[in-house]
Amino acid sequence: MEDGFEAVKDYADSNGIVLVSPLSTAGTLAVPDDNIYRFTPDERAEGAALAAVMLEDEIDTVIPVTRDDPGNRGLQDGLKAELEAAGGTVVEGITYSADEDDFAGVAADIAGLIEANGGESTAVYLTAFGEVASLFEAASDAGGPLLTSVPWYGSDSVALSAELLASSVAADFAVEVGYPNPILGLRDEDRAMWQPVVDAVEEEIGRRPDTFALAAYDALVVLHMALESEGVNADADSIGAAFVNAAESHTGLTGPTELNDAGDRASASFDFWAVCRDGSAFEWVRTISYTPAESGDAKITRTDC
């Protein structure tokens, strides 16, 4: 998704095309006065949330591991900036190809970095997509205590991943290393709106939809409001302005949809989802909620598996 948006951004801006994303986070797309609008906060907000959780967990050294794409690299940049600003350290990490399909070498490299940098205050930060299941299977096959001797943290594109739950080996590894994954949060005060939708979608597809899916719903509603206001034949500037205005006053399934100056989601609350055992099966459980504070410390609440 990030690669696609970067590839078409100039064309969209030059040809009056409005692009709306429910999940893109790359900081390179946080540009004022362009034609890209995003219903998720950018990488800096996710980095701030993750850094706050890590610091509360007394983590001060991070080993970064990332899939090679703009969005995941950007998430690493966001965490690095926030953690280092708080006095933490992000060591030289590992970047694997977007088409990597053999993770034995990646697992061995991670083990080497843990051996060199490991300790009670060290963690692995993995930014990935569905291939995380293959990586965790390789890590489990590698055996030995090194890979499970430190906690792991994840990213938004893995939260609620069906691929990870489908592999008992990978899911078991995720349980062992903790592995909370942040994604745009849902407010309990909006439960009356989002819960019926979540339940209906889950019944239809057999798994809980992630917040990106609900953000897509909200974006479509706001876009419809903008088109009703301006007409389907309006130019991109008019539709974009109407879209921003409609978003400013709308509260959807994912809460207030107000956008910032770059056309990205202004609110930055996050839910962290971790894989937990449910008898002999595995399930995703919201174990951490993060709400930024206008002044003072952010609010972090935790729930056990």
Domains recognised in the chain with CATH numbers = 44-185+269-302 (3.40.50.2300)
Residues paired with 21 in a beta bridge: 38
Q: Strands, DSSP E only, in 52-201? A: 61-67, 89-90, 94-96, 122-127, 152-153, 181-184
Among the residue ranges 17-21, 22-26, 246-250, the one predicted with the least confidence is 22-26
DSSP state of 34: S
Does the pTM surpass 0.75? The reply is yes
What is the percentage of the chain residues whose pLDDT exceeds 90? 85
pLDDT band at 205 (very low <50, low <70, confident <90, very high): very high
Per-residue model confidence (pLDDT) at position 5: 66
> Residues with Cβ < 8 Å from 4, sequence gap 6 or more?
none
Per-residue model confidence (pLDDT) at position 176: 97
> Residues with Cβ < 8 Å from 294, sequence gap 6 or more?
none
The pLDDT of 244-269, averaged and rounded, is 94
pLDDT band at 2 (very low <50, low <70, confident <90, very high): low
Mean residue pLDDT of the chain comes to 94
Calculate the CA dihedral of residues 295, 43, 134, 117 and round it to 10 degrees. -70
What residue type is 160 in one-letter code?
Answer: L
- Would the pLDDT of 172 be above 90? yes
